[in-house]
Structure 1
Amino acid sequence: MAEKRGYSALTAALHLVMAVGIFYLFALSWWMLALPWGDARPFPYQMHKNVGLTVILLVVIILFDRFRRRPGPLPRSMSGWMRKLAIVDHAALYFLILLACLSGYLSSAYSGWGITFWWTVDLPNWGEENEPLNQFFSDIHIWACWALFAVLATHIGGALYHAFRNDGVVRRMLRF
């Protein structure tokens, strides 16, 4: 059987869904943190947790599909340093997405507020309410999100660069 090349339709679609989810998480977090304490806060916080946990699942599916089906080499028009930067950028993206989502989950688990995944499955808290651990994971979450924001800017800049060069890199992902 011949080796399949290019990203699968599943990976291409999930990449776009994950991108929308991550930008939604950034927008939602800025809005929910500005809300006054009271009855309006629990829903956006729970929605933030649900989308963050869903992003973890999307990353796992994308990585599984990525290693199962190799997309093939990057175009020869890319210089060596660009190829290396692309590898570092993608590794940093996956690492920071997982770090941000997992640290957010752990912060919530130690905050005393439970997590019910999409209002149907209660997830474990891993321990009792613990403010120092909550703060520790919250700090990691915030720093990971800011680092993710910076790496996403690089990623989007690279995608735009390749789109304007029309060198085939963007077409590999979008499958056209």
Structure 2
Amino acid sequence: MANQNYSPAAVIIHWLIAVCIFFLFASSSWMLALPLSSDEFPFRQFPFQLHKNIGVTIALLLALLLYIRFRRPRHREARSKEMESWMNKLATVDHIVLYLLVFACCASGYIASSYSGWATTLWWTLKLPHWGRADKDLNMLYSDIHAWACWSLLGFLAAHVAGAAYHAFQNDGVARRMMRLR
């Protein structure tokens, strides 16, 4: 019989991704408001490189989370006992869309960066390949896709948090299972 709970690794990775996404959203407005890099303002590179590092790390964590989730399936009947059928379906759709949007944010950000002409060095150690030479139009296209994907992600994250809050207030066991308190 498959496990009814999420694995400890999946819970930890979930919260690492959540903290990273929160940080990226919180720092993005500030980062974009910085003056363009010049001899007088060379510091703009650090926040952008940090943003890219965290984005690539999120993509790697997401791949690991999906591997764990598919390798250790949860028992379907455990979900249906605690939630209505439509809630199960809505939760499934929300998770799938969240995974797709997180991937879209990471991929479009990386591709936009590739066309910016600026190198992406993963945690200042591993230089990641570019998708092509610097191209302002492609950089803007993927930057726009990145922005739309990120704002869409924010909307679905709000629904995700609202659903988690609902289950916490209902005290129906779903929130405890997600937090491994059961």
Normalising by structure 1, what TM-score? 0.96
Q: Which stretch of the first structure deviates more once superposed, 166-175 or 98-107?
A: 166-175
The answer as to 2:79 corresponding to 1:79 is: no
2:66 aligns with: 63
CA offset at residue 3 of structure 1? 3.5
Q: Which stretch of the first structure deviates more once superposed, 73-82 or 114-123?
A: 73-82
Superimposed CA distance per residue, residues 64-106 of structure 1 (whole angstroms, 9 cap, x where no aligned partner): 0001001222142411211111011000100000000100000
The secondary structure found in structure 2 opposite 1:76 is: helix
Superimposed CA distance per residue, residues 134-167 of structure 1 (whole angstroms, 9 cap, x where no aligned partner): 1111110000000000000000000000011111
The secondary structure found in structure 2 opposite 1:116 is: strand
1:108 aligns with: 113
The answer as to 2:173 corresponding to 1:174 is: no
For the Cα contact (< 8 Å) 1:75–1:168, is it kept in 2? no
2:3 aligns with: 4
For the Cα contact (< 8 Å) 1:9–1:175, is it kept in 2? yes
What pairs with 1:150-165 in structure 2 (closer than 5 Å)? 150-165=155-170
2:102 aligns with: 97
For 2:2 and 2:81, how far apart are their aligned partners in 1? 20
2:124 aligns with: 119
CA offset at residue 5 of structure 1? 3.4
- Runs of 4+, deviation exceeding 4 Å: none
Q: Which amino acid aligns with 1:50?
A: N
Q: What is the total number of aligned residue pairs between the two structures?
A: 175
The answer as to 2:60 corresponding to 1:40 is: no
CA RMSD of aligned residues (A): 1.1
For 2:62 and 2:35, how far apart are their aligned partners in 1? 33
For 2:128 and 2:143, how far apart are their aligned partners in 1? 18
For the Cα contact (< 8 Å) 2:80–2:88, is it kept in 1? no
For 1:87 and 1:50, how far apart are their aligned partners in 2? 29
Which ranges of structure 2 fall in alignment gaps of 5 or more residues?
none
